[in-house]
Structure formats: structure tokens, C-alpha cells
Amino acid sequence: MNSLSHESPSATPVSTADQQRTADSWLDRLRPAHVGLRAELEVSRHLFRGVPTYVLRDPVTFKSHKLSAGDYQIYVSLTSSTSLGKIFAKLCQQNVLDVEQEEAFYRFVLSLAQMGLLSLPVSDGSALYAKYKRQRDAERRAKLSGVLFLQVPLFQPDRFLERTKRFVTPLFSRWAFSIWLLGLVGCILIVSVRWHEFRSPLGSMLTLHNVPLLWSLLVGLKVFHEFGHAYACKRFGGVVPEMGAYFIIFTPCAYVDASASWGFPRPLHRIIVGLGGMYFESILAQLAVLIWALTPHGAVHSAAQYAIILATVVTAGFNANPLMKYDGYYILSDLVGIPNLRQEAQQRVSSLFSRWVLGVTASVDEQPIFTRMFLTAFGLTCSLYKFVVVAGLTVTIAWKLPMIGIVVAAAYLTNTLRQIALGMYHQVQRQRTRPAQVRAAAGLATCLIVAGVLFALIPFAQHEHAEGVARRMNTTTVYAQSSGWLTQEFLPEGTSVATGTLLGQLENPELSTRALQGQYDAEQLRISLMSKVETDQSAASIAQQRHQAKLTELATSRDAVAQLSITSPSDGVVAHNFLRHQVGRYIPHGTPVAMVAGGPWVVQTLVSAEQLANLRLQAESPVQILFPAATTRIYWATVKRITQVGSRRINQVALTQLGGGDIAVSVDTGEAEQAYFEITLVLAPNQQADFVRQDMTAQIKFVTQRTTVGRQFYRRLLNLWNQLQQLG
């Protein structure tokens, strides 16, 4: 038996008489059917680790399909002049197939028909209409999901590539590759020498105002990436029929149909096509390194740095990742010589699982032990990677969206588990006897229970993140105590001052004139008093009272004049200068003019009641702080104070959406939907940083007690229940 070994008799779903009769009925309908081969298909032969494989390319749909040598022998035996029943009998006479493989043979023919590799006679109108209806339903469902994932073909680039490939083909020569290697080494040296300068701004890369720039750079790089695949395919004689865009959650990503490379006989050529996109992106990355190194700080400098990150780190994490079905996967498949690598690995893992857990007998695997070990390891790694991604998305959605996140996460997880359960159910149903089915079901149930318990018991350190505002512990706002015109610029921010240091100078001629007039009047009253002391005691007493009142008025006027010189109320630094570049402006009494801050740096943040309950903070609890100006260093602080009563009124505008923060407040009232508690954190004495400025934002990471996934999920469910009760 040369083919269809994956469909052994033991795997045939004939556990009941009804199933046997159903199988016989559809086999009876297929035996007299006639099918033929499509003459326009392009066929090429390849060797993978010495094993021949045939690639069938459809020039109409531009899709390629791979068949083993045994399957290809069966495929070429199909002819429209002979019925399928006679073809199967002939294959059995030639010892290509066994009689017991009849059902597997017809399933193989049906799979060929589904892939569009056969020419089918139009003989069953109702069947064709049913197939047409299923296709229409599938298209309708695709349109519903197309809002989030939409593929839009834009143009046929083959003619353009044919006209321009002579300009690009030299990039795939050996001397061009040598120059690329030298440039790569040079860029690595440049970034290494200036590494501290390169990494410092990365912490603010994902801020909101950078999103349009990052979005534009990503789209441009991916278009260039796809042209790399296209030109590599043309370099070795392939056809590139289509180029367009994927819209994944409204984010465009370019794509190109380079499937013609599957027909290239040399694996090296297929690998070069797979690497072509990353090769082109790396050329842009090298140019970006030069621009970054030669330009001063500014928009061009930052854009070049972001392009370097997107073209290297992001591309390596996605396109080069063999666990995702992108370039890295197909390159690995060609390197190890295993077409359909993921499918082979998944079948290997499924076979081991079915054998050891469900008790399903399987055919003997004749592959070398190294190949079996590699497929097992790759299949387990892919399964683990998928599990981590699904679990991560589930936990993230449930955590970030308190009200509906738990519902979305549960639906997502349920759908994933449903697909796994359906596959396991089919494995159980393939058992011939009732005891075997019971054993398989028991093994499956045990595995699911153990997996669920282990998943619920996964420990993790729960972290809460929040934004904060840096301030000095002792902060005093200085107000204008007298009205006047600003005649002297206030001291700049960051200036160290002592108590009584002049911050700024006002001038008010009216106050000065009033003080001089008061001084003159007081002197005249004193002279009048002295003249009456010896002559008229009664008049002298009245003059004494008038003189005293005038002296009091004079003191008030002099104080008002003295307050025109605004001084620091304490030691510290000028944290804010509210009158910058306003010399000559009239400053009314009570206007805030400056802020003087002293003492150690503190960071004030706001957390919700739920976050505060999860944190379980105590005095002197350690907290991590990250400042945007120093993203490579983590600062440590301790909890100084926690307000006992929460407030919906948010005074720190920088923490609200009005100032670029995360807390949503009403524009009219400035109040949030829920109460927030203020936490004051004090930086340790050895953690005081010179670059910190008043009201500078910071990212705060609270490290809480370790918990488990199950306990956290239970808390989320309980929180959702409480919220639903409040709404009711």
C-alpha cells in the first residue's frame, strides 16, 4: 500500500451498524461517478529529504497544492472515461491500494474535488445547487467577519515587476549580499556605540501622539516587505498575479501572492523568496540607521529610530517567528524538508495523544526517529504557543474590560475549547467497540479535568499599573499680595532658592505715592502734636489719636509696597513660574505667580476601590516607578499615605483624559464615574533624580501578593455579579 496510510481501517468511523449503512450508501453513489483531471494545472516535482513530492498549481486561482508520490500516482490514474469504482479496482489489482481502503480512496477523491483539482461532470443538479448554496452561505458569513478581517486585491503587479525587475535583480547577487553583510555589521557597531542614546527615548515610543507616525511607518515598511517577496519570486521565474491589502481591525497590511515559488525545484530559491521581504526591510533599516546617526534630535531623527525598531524587532517577532504561519514558518519547512510542517506536527502530536490517552490504534510510523522527535517537539511547541496566546488574550480582555471583558473572554475561551472538544469527540467516535469508546471518553475527560485544574492553579504575581504625577513633598503656591505691573522677570523654573529670595518684582505707583503721602501726613501730625502738648492737653489728646491712626495707615501702605517684591516663603526650588514672559502685565491681588517646592520627591497616583482592594498596600510597601525621561532605570519608592475616603473629584488633571491620562471625567463637572483613592509614594533618598520636574508623569507598578488564575477569574466573576446587581 503506497498511499492513504493516514486512513487506516481502525480509524474508520464504523462503530455502529447505522454508520456502516450510511458509509455504504454514499460509496454506492460514488462508484459509478466519472471524474477527470484538469488539463490546465501546472505540475512540478520536488525532492524533500530525498522523498519526491508533486506540487500542483492552479493558474486560475493561483493556489498550489502538494501531493506525495503515492497520492500523485492515484491522482494521475483518475480519468473521465472510467468510473471511480473501476479505477479503484484497477489500483487494487496493481497493489497500489488495498480493498479495505475503499472509503479512504473516495475521501481522497472528494478532497481533490474540494481543492478544485478535478474536472467534475454536471450530472446532479440538486447536489450542485446545494454546493452553490453552501458557498453563498460561506461568503455571507465571510462578509460579516470581513469588517474585522478584510482582504482587498488592489492590482496585478506582474507586468510592473517584469518591467522593473532588471533594476532590482542585482540585489539578489552575491556581491550585493556581501555589501549587505558589511552594512549590517556597520549598523550594529553604530547602534552599539550609541546604545544609551538609542534606547533612552524608546519608553515614549508608544505614546498617543506617535501613533500616526508609527502607523504610517508600519504600512510603508510592509509594502516594501511584500515587494521583496515579489521581486525575489520574479528573480527565479515565478509569476506574481496579485497584490493587495489586508485590513485587520481597520489596520492595513500589504500582501502579495508569491505562491508560484512553491513550484521552484531548488529549496534555496524558495528560501530566498521567503527571506526576500525581511531582506528588503533590513535594507531600509540600514538606511534608517544612517539617517538616525547623521541627523540631530527632531522629527526625522525619531522617525528613523522608530523605523529601525519596526523593521528589526517587530519583523523578527512576527515574520521570522516559525510558530506563526508567516515567512519564518515556510523557511523552516524548506530547511527541514517537510512540506505542510505544521499539519504533520499536529498529526504527530494528535496521534501520540490518541494512542496514549484515548487508546486509539494507529498505523506504524516509518519516519526516522529524528524526524519523529522534531515533529513532536514542534507540534508541542505550537500547541503551547497557541495556549499561551489564547490564555493571554483571555486574561487581558477580562482584566482590561471589567464589565464586558469577562463575557468576551469566556466566549473566546469557550469557542476554543469547543473546537478542541469536537476534535476529541471525533477521536472517541472512531472506536469500534463500546468498551473502547468508554475508555477513550474516560481518558479524554480525565485530561480535560487535569488541564483545567492545572490552568486554574497557574500562579502569577498580580501587578497593578497606574499613572502618577511627581511633586516635591512640601509645595507652596506663591500669590501676589499686592496688585501691580510686573517689571522684573521671575526666576526660571528649577532655580534653587532660600527663604526670602526675591522671585519677581511688581510696581504700583499708586501704592508708592500713597505711602509717601502717608509719611508726610504722619510727620505733619507729629509736629502739630508737639506744639499742643504744653498748651492744650485736650487738643493734644485728640492729635495723639489722629497721629497714631495715621501711623497705622502708613504701616499698611508700606507693607503693601514691600509686598510688591515677591519672595520665596521657604527653601527649595522654583517648581513653576506662572508669569513667564509677561513683563509689563498688570497682576491683580491674589494671582498665583509661582510655586516653590522643597523636600524629597513624591509621586501621587489615583486608584479605584477595586484596585486598592487587590493591592492590599501597607505603609512602607515597595513600589516600582518608571519615568519617561529614564526608561532604562527602575526607581523604587515606598507608600507614605493613602486617603481613607475616595473622591470622584479629580484634581490632578494630568491623570484624566483631559490631560492625556487614563481616568475618564466629565468635562463639565470634572468628576469620574467612580471614586478614586489618592496614594502618595516617596522616592528613597538614594533614588532622588535630578531630571525629575514638578508635575512630570510617571508609570507606577504595584507588586501585589501572588495569586492563581482560577482565583483571579473567580474574583472577576464576583465583581461582574456585583455590578449586575447594582444595575438591577
Return d(Cα 199, Cα 203) in angstroms, integer.
Answer: 8
Co-location of 450 and 494 in the same domain: no
Co-location of 159 and 305 in the same domain: yes
Q: 221 CB contacts (<8 Å, ≥6 apart)? A: 281, 284, 307, 310, 311, 315
Cβ–Cβ < 8 Å for 274, 172: no
Structural domain boundaries, residue 656: 464-468+596-727
Return d(Cα 308, Cα 315) in angstroms, integer.
Answer: 10
State the pLDDT at residue 148: 46
Residue 364 inside a domain? The answer is no
> In terms of Cα–Cα distance, which of 230, 261, 262 is closest to 244?
230
pLDDT tens across 132-176, in order? 455 555 555 544 444 445 677 888 898 999 999 999 989 999 999
Q: Rounded to two decimals, what is the model's pTM? A: 0.60
pLDDT tens across 607-646, in order? 888 778 777 777 777 888 888 766 667 788 888 888 888 8
- Domain boundary (321, 342, 363) is at 342
- Region 372-396: mean pLDDT is 78
Cβ–Cβ < 8 Å for 97, 88: yes
Total domain count, the chain: 5
Cβ–Cβ < 8 Å for 309, 292: no
- Domain boundary (101, 124, 144) is at 144
Co-location of 27 and 69 in the same domain: yes
> In terms of Cα–Cα distance, which of 290, 276, 281, 291 is closest to 313?
281
Co-location of 532 and 623 in the same domain: no
Residue 358 inside a domain? The answer is no
Cell match 510597601: residue? 621
Q: Supply φ then ψ for residue 205, to 5 degrees.
A: -65, -40
Co-location of 194 and 322 in the same domain: yes
pLDDT tens across 72-83, in order? 888 888 888 888
| Whether the predicted pLDDT of 14 surpasses 80 | no
Residue 167 inside a domain? The answer is yes
pLDDT band at 721 (very low <50, low <70, confident <90, very high): confident
| Whether the predicted pLDDT of 8 surpasses 50 | no
Residue 357 inside a domain? The answer is no
State the pLDDT at residue 685: 74
State the pLDDT at residue 130: 55
Return d(Cα 589, Cα 483) in angstroms, integer.
Answer: 5
pLDDT tens across 636-653, in order? 888 888 888 888 888 888
Co-location of 255 and 404 in the same domain: no
pLDDT tens across 566-584, in order? 888 888 888 888 888 888 8
CATH of residue 662's domain is 2.40.30.170
Lowest mean pLDDT among 485-499, 551-565, 664-678, 689-703: 689-703
DSSP states along 339-377: SSHHHHHHHHHHHHHIIIII--------S-HHHHHHHHH
Give, in degrees to the nearest 5, the angle at Cα 303 between 301 and 305: 70
Q: What is the mean pLDDT of the chain?
A: 78
Residue 368 inside a domain? The answer is no
Co-location of 382 and 505 in the same domain: no
State the pLDDT at residue 286: 95
Return d(Cα 679, Cα 681) in angstroms, integer.
Answer: 6
Co-location of 401 and 483 in the same domain: no
Residue 291 inside a domain? The answer is yes
pLDDT tens across 15-43, in order? 444 445 555 566 777 788 888 888 778 78
Return d(Cα 553, Cα 547) in angstroms, integer.
Answer: 10
Residue 382 inside a domain? The answer is yes
Co-location of 171 and 316 in the same domain: yes
Co-location of 300 and 383 in the same domain: no
Co-location of 532 and 665 in the same domain: no
Residue 351 inside a domain? The answer is no
| Whether the predicted pLDDT of 415 surpasses 80 | no
Cβ–Cβ < 8 Å for 491, 574: yes
pLDDT band at 297 (very low <50, low <70, confident <90, very high): confident
| Whether the predicted pLDDT of 226 surpasses 80 | yes
- Domain boundary (428, 456, 484) is at 456
H-helix or E-strand spanning residue 706: strand 697-708
Co-location of 526 and 577 in the same domain: yes
